[in-house]
Structure 1
Amino acid sequence: MVVDAGVADALAAFGAHQDDVKAAREQAPEPAFEVYEENWEAVQVFSALSTQWRMSAFSGFGTARLVHTGLDYGAIEPVYRLIGIRRDRRAAIFQQIRVMEEAALDALLPE
């Protein structure tokens, strides 16, 4: 796990042990990545939807787990409006979001 400067500052503010704060500050940040201009709006919307994942709980024989099942599509339209996405771009961006959602589900689903 990579801890950014904000998390390290929060650790210090909440009185974490100095060694822990130092270790957090020494962690290398994740490498930056490029987003093509034509994908930027979709990335912004997908990022804004990061708390809108639907999850299902499964249990049996003393074990339980939560599984991501997809984004809450009902949250997309308000995000479009709040970010200022033009109406004529929304359908295309939705298709881009679905591609990112599918890739995220592949990474999030347990093996």
Structure 2
Amino acid sequence: MAGTAGGGGRVHRGAQPRGPRKKLRAVARRWAAGGGRDDTCEAARAFGLAPPDPEPEIELWPECMPSVEVFLACATQWRLDAAGNPLGMDYPALEAVMRMLGTADVRQTFADVQVMEAEVLRVFSAAGGAK
């Protein structure tokens, strides 16, 4: 089953990845870079230009999918400082989302989401602030 991971790239199950945490970080970076709201292709076509090459697919292990689904469901649940820079995810909201989605392994999912959260914060910090 396939799903999107932002930037026009696809995320799907089944390949031989190098490790689940690396894949989770890749999804987090893709989300931090635009989270699927990339209008570049449509804008290029509107001006008669060739759209940019699509981003490569991110191959995920099936056991990563629940964590990615929870992370994406919590996309608006970030704590921000006074300047609007992300400080981290809102953990009570994360817990509520896991409960509503019926997450089976809450501890592992929480740990995976923290890996993704740290990667997003790293990307935002390197870029000089929030997306």
The TM tier, using the shorter chain, reads: 0.5 to 0.7
Please say if residues 4 and 29 of structure 1, whose CA atoms lie closer than 8 Å, have aligned partners that are also in contact: no
Q: Number of matched residues?
A: 90
Q: Percent identity?
A: 30
Which protein is bigger by CA-based radius of gyration?
1
Task: Structure 2: state its 5+ residue gaps.
Answer: 1-33
| Distance in 1 of aligned mates of 2:67 and 2:94 | 11
- Stretches of 4+ aligned residues off by more than 3 angstroms: none
- Give distance in 2, aligned partners of 1:3 and 1:29: 12
Q: Which has the higher helix share?
A: 1
Per the alignment, residue 54 of structure 1 pairs with: 79
Partners of 2:40 and 2:107 lie apart in 1 by: 34
Shift of 1:4: 6.9
CA distance in 2, matches of 1:49, 1:4: 25
Q: Which fold has the larger relative contact order, with Cα–Cα distance below 8 Å and residues 6 or more apart in sequence?
A: 2
Unaligned runs of 5+ in 1: 12-17, 58-64
TM-score normalised by L of structure 1: 0.66
| TM-score computed with the length of structure 2 as normaliser | 0.57
8 Å CA contact retained: 1:69, 1:105: yes
